[in-house]
Structure 1
Amino acid sequence: MRAWLSWLVLFCVLGTPALGVTVQKVPRPPRGTWTVDLTPSHVLTQATKAEVNRIANELNDRGLGQLAVVVVGTTSGQPSRMFALDLFNRWGIGHAGRNDGVLLFVALSDRKAEIILGDGVNGPEDQRASDAVMADDVVPGFKRNDPNAAVLQGALGLKALLENARLNNPNAAAASTDAPISMGAVADTDPQPATTEPYVSRPEEPSSSSGLGFVVGGAGVLGAAGLAGRAWFRRRPRKCGRCGNLRVRLDERADNAHLDAGQRFEESLGSVDYDVWWCDPCEDALVERYGALFTSFSRCSRCNYVTVKQTSRTLVSATYDHGGEVEVTRTCGHCDHVTTSRHSTPRRTRPSSSSSSRSSSRSSGSSFGGGRSSGGGSSGSW
């Protein structure tokens, strides 16, 4: 036990220096550039950054939207989705009024990727295109340990998304045969909170302080200890209740034979992981479920699997004078159950003159135009 505790303390101490990456510490790219690489080894090559900047400048010059790419080492325990959305709205990616920004965010050490869509390019077709870019371009590249290919292919896919968005093709939108939205849409029976709060400019946080560093470091130690404890609990030996022999934990390929279709689909999405402990003498399988600590998927009210993808679409944009309305659609990838609900959003809050001036000074050196996002897009892991 003493050896185990010593190892745990060493693990926590070594993990603590990785803390400290916050949204406030991610520098805005200079005007005319659209990429930021904060990884310790600077994984993006100059050629990749130059090509992404070329793609983004072309989109911006044509008035089709704004594309940004940010790669960090880790979000230091903050959910990558929240980190990316906060960064998007803090920078104001996209053109004001059009909200046509797109952010490809990667936390390399966390093995997480996020696509954040501006509210103007967050329709059902845009969502499907975003999911395809994440599943077909971004995640496979990182699985091959080729981050430059993943980022470049992702940027090209998002360029196509903006070019084909309804916002940029009004004639195609008018000719669309999409079914009209029913005001009597069935409310979601298992609602999840939608990230529809409008972005409000906030004053800059103090750059650093010893007290804050101590609190963050302490939280990191506790978090690391919790993760280590969870890993030990999950891997601890199991005995068969019938014969008393130790069970054997099956590998990922072998355990699929003991999972149903829904469980296998959950594993493919990364929303749930299953361990199967096999007793050979009794030919008995013990299946244990472990939900992901952070996932963009939620539980389906019909089939009960964590296979629901939520998308939102702005119906009425909130202003300083009145609130807005968003339509939230939750689609289960396992049983194809779809629920739709509408939610009111509060009116926007006028920033104070001091925070407004600070926000203006922060954005003056970048190319971003004041776009916003309610959280639409895609998540991926590898």
Structure 2
Amino acid sequence: MRLKSLLLVFLVTLFSCQEKKQRITPQDIPDPKQTDGGYVSDPAHMLSASATATINSMLTDLDKEGTAQVAVVLQEDIGVEDPTDFAHKLFNTWGIGSKETNNGLLIFLVRDARKLVFETGKGLEGDLPDILCYRIQQEYMIPHIKEDNYDEAFINGVKSVAAQLRTGNYAYDETSDEAYMAPVTDSSLVAAEDDMVVASPQAFAGAADEMQEYAEAPVEQGSDFIDRSPGAGFYIGLVLMLFLSPVLMHACFGGRRKKKKKHPDPDVDNIPVSIKEMSNDFLRPGWIGLLLIHITAWWLLWFMDAHYNVRLGFFKVLLVYYATWVVFMHLAVLIVRLRAETALRGADRHTRWQRLSAAHSQLEFSGYIFPLPFLLLYLRWYRHEQQKLRDTPYDCPHCHQALHRLDEKTEDPYLEKAQVIEEKLSSVDYDVWRCDKDDYQLVLDYTDFHAAVSECPSCEHKTFQCKTTRTQKRATTKAAGWGIKTYLCAACGFSKDYRFTIPKISESSSSSSSSSSSSSSGSSWGGGSSGGGGASSSW
């Protein structure tokens, strides 16, 4: 009896050790971007070669046109891991989807666990909600998976996803390829956003440490001359701050208000501005503010060198610029507040909340970068005052009793359809105040000034988004290119194409940029993250 017990313990221990060995992590899953540059990871070869090629072709079109970046993974087993949790980890490990729009989707099958999982990025949750993910699985994939026909299951599933993202209808017509194939217009090239190239702080810092070590080396005793001229780190610091200062100015105050240019075609370069990109109405320092910061910092550096005989290096430049920015931001916030109070004198609570929120939406970032001595305290006080403006009950104009505010679950019946869509897009949050005695209601809108949504020119709701970006003519070293951005209103369905220009490529960087862009698009994902949405099905 004792021998049987020992044998049982031995077998349990053996199997538990085996189970530990079978633990699989997302890093163990072959990344197709690192192997063949495709979108399908199928180490167990459940799909045929032709099916894999077909799926890769469809997913390439979706990716290039900017609609979505989709990864397909078929795994025999994942050990003791839960497929849903594993899909979430794998999604974030690879970074599926664009970093800016989070338009990623992971279609993940684990044959041993008999589980099919869709994991979506936050940017796809509106176009591909959880219920549609489940329907696509149940109608187009699970029936074929039960028959071990993985080719048909995944080809049909990808077709359905593509049709839903392009047309808003996942039930594609099997006799026609139009619903899930790429648009007829040339969308093989996705227009890259014309971002400013900023020198890497790490690269400068590494060189600065090396130069500073040499420049600040102590002189030998007995030497009559001490060299206090600025070292190489001083000039590196100046160059670094010349690059960083415009970035900080844009982050704290937004871009400058663009002047509309006269053009035969009013849509050329007249792309809608998203809410978060709107400039500050009360203060836009722009290049004048930058000039003031640089002159002040340079004067302080000269004063330290001339009157205190201080040897100037990399970190002293950073310290002086930081102190200059601290003073500048405190004065700027003070000016914004004084101008706002003057402009809003006599305004109602709702108007005050909206205008002050717009003025402070980007200034909140500065509270984390330049918190001392007073900026962080001011921003905390500002948030408290804003909350009071919104939460204090209103009085009924009929019975003069205090209205009560409905919660998020019960307020939707009192909102228009477009207002409900705005709340789903997180561009506007509505408060509904009611008086049950007189059946009076008050609906107030509170804009989220961090939302990447524009105002629709048709219905004037904040539901206008860029859906696709297509390059029609690639820029060269001799001529600028152009492309088309298609915007769609989620409320009224209004759609409009906007033409944008692509600047000429500088001759010094044309060869390197073209080679790097082609390799990065094929050998890596976009850096997106999961929004936690999706669905799973078992069979």
TM-score, normalised via structure 1 length: 0.45
TM-score by length of 2: 0.33
- The structure with the largest alpha-carbon Rg is 2
Greater strand share, structure number: 1
Instruction: Identify the structure with bigger relative contact order (alpha carbons < 8 Å, sequence gap 6+).
Output: 1
Higher helix share: 2
